[in-house]
């Protein structure tokens, strides 16, 4: 029975802590423009795709440097 009360008290403390963090974030205006974060992630993924070498190009470069040919 003691463990049940400890679990209930712990869950209440975590819930109150989450509410306090949420209120703090709202008061500090952290949720002002949440769409910016979405676009930052989107464009960083696109940049990685554009900047990364295509599949197979890296193998061709390695083969050219070592002088090997695949037939």
Q: How far apart are CA 41 and CA 11, in angstroms?
A: 33
39 in the same domain as 23: no
Number of structural domains in the chain = 2
Percent over 90 (pLDDT), the chain:
38
Residue 63 near residue 70 (C-beta atoms within 8 A): yes
pLDDT tens digits along 38-60 = 778 888 877 777 777 666 665 56
Same domain? 27 vs 54: no
Is pLDDT above 90 for 28? yes
The reply to whether 16 and 28 lie within a common domain is yes
């Amino acid at each position: 029975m003691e463990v049940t009360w400890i679990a209930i008290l712990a869950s209440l403390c975590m819930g109150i802590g989450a509410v306090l963090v949420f209120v703090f974030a709202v008061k500090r205006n952290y949720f002002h423009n949440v769409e910016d974060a979405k676009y930052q992630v989107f464009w960083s993924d696109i940049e990685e795709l554009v900047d990364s070498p295509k599949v197979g190009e890296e193998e061709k470069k390695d083969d050219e440097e070592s002088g090997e040919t695949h037939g």
